[in-house]
Structure 1
Amino acid sequence: MRATSVPIDARATYIGCMDTNLTHSAPAFFISHGAPTFALQPGQLGPVLTAAGGRMGAAKAVLIVSPHWITRGVRVASTPAPDTIHDFGGFPEPLYRLSYRAPGAPDWAARAVQLLESAGFAAEPDAGRGLDHGAWVPLRYLLPEANTPVFQVSMPRDFDTAGAWRMGRALAPLRAQGVAIVGSGSLTHNLYEVFHGGKEAPYAQEFASWATRAVLGGDTDALLHYRAQAPSAERAHPTEEHFLPLVVAAGAATEGEQAQLLPGGMTYGVLAMDSYAWGLPLPEAA
């Protein structure tokens, strides 16, 4: 991954697809999905995601990696019609009435299994998996019509930044075939402070600013070693599962792509909602 100050290199814009037609390369995203209440409270990021979705063009499918599906090895959802999973408790009742009824993508899931196996992952299909809130909550804003096929790839229990980068690189060829890749996590994720802090904490913004500099600067080494290099890394991420989807998404980017910031602000004082996109057309000048 390397960000530049010029638009995306067009050399890899077209490539053969599974159906032998040619298509534009689909973008990659890292999206901070925050708390489940993001589904009801779009805040700053919701409209930004909807605008980004309007610029991404027609994707053939969306592959999404969420920290709310962790398994032995890697599982790839091949469900034809995935259910909406409400994998949370104690939130407002209207959240449990929401659904996101996008179709699944069994054929693309099979292709993802092949790519992951070729990269050395122990991957297998899962024909019963639905969409957890790390998937359907941000997709409600990115693709609100829910007519693009969606499938999830799980995170293995022994995942680390090196494995996340390797997964992104393994899945990257799908972008050239028209499949958007989304890493859904949270730029900062200290739930203890969400529930017990009750006020803004400067460290969260410091960490978010560091991450943005690393992503926009194409600093792969910083992302892979964020635990040692980022300010307050262990406080921003007491556990790593919500940061690793960022590394997956960055790994799915290609050399020379311009990373874009999708600003999301801060919720609950400590949940940074900033997100990023690679390969997304820039907004048209007003």
Structure 2
Amino acid sequence: MFMGQAIWKRNNVRVLGEGRDTLIFAHGFGSEQGAWRHQVAAFQDRYRIVLFDHVGCGQSDFNAYSPHRYRSMHGYAEDLLELCEELDIRQSLFVGHSLSGMVGMLAALVEPERFRRLVFVKSTPRMRNDAESGYVGGFEQAEIDGMLDAMASNFYAWAGGFAPVAMGNPERPDLSQEFTRTLSAMRPDIALAIARIVFNYDHRADLPRLKVPTLILHAGEDVAVPDTVGEHMVRHIPRATLSTISASGHLPHLSAPEQVNRALGSFLSATA
């Protein structure tokens, strides 16, 4: 177990802002803590904000990556709980984008006292479609296999093609360039290992076990996480609320920060 300064280095932890309540922001695959800059600017005068990079992303310690520890999302949930222990965080407000929604959920299932509220921004319990149950996650297995093969063949070429599609908003190429940069900064072997987990995990059975009040934040026109996913989660998480904002793409906190901030502010202030 990493402790003390090792955690700060491992996850490039930053703590800033003012306030009695702690607000944790966790980024998604191929992103980094800097993607939350618009939210930090909006909330740092009211909250103690904790930012970090998942191992393998951003300025995290790539040497801390272990294929055994990070063989599933549970390894990243362990990182989050160790971070909460190190900073003595309890009853936090956790905002997780994409895969980090499931990281937050898994952590809250183990130590629910660490979390008072959860926010899932474009998160999903499963990306693969399931014809037997009628679940629409967005991808067929053949599509996932094709992406993983492309990543293994030429990661940087894949990143350059995937980032603009995931980001959407083609009229704003700066956003795609930013996501391409952070995605390409990953070590290709780590990126492929994480992608294999993300594209194939299935946490649908965990949803009904989550008792922490949760906001599911969705936006349309997302090639990675269709609206059907949000609808599925709000039906199966006991204390969930679904909010759909006017935005497009998989990273609305970058492409539509004002809408995201309004939804966050409303949820957090109503449940403070």
TM score, norm. by length of structure 2:
0.30
TM score, norm. by length of structure 1:
0.29
Q: Higher strand proportion, which one?
A: 1
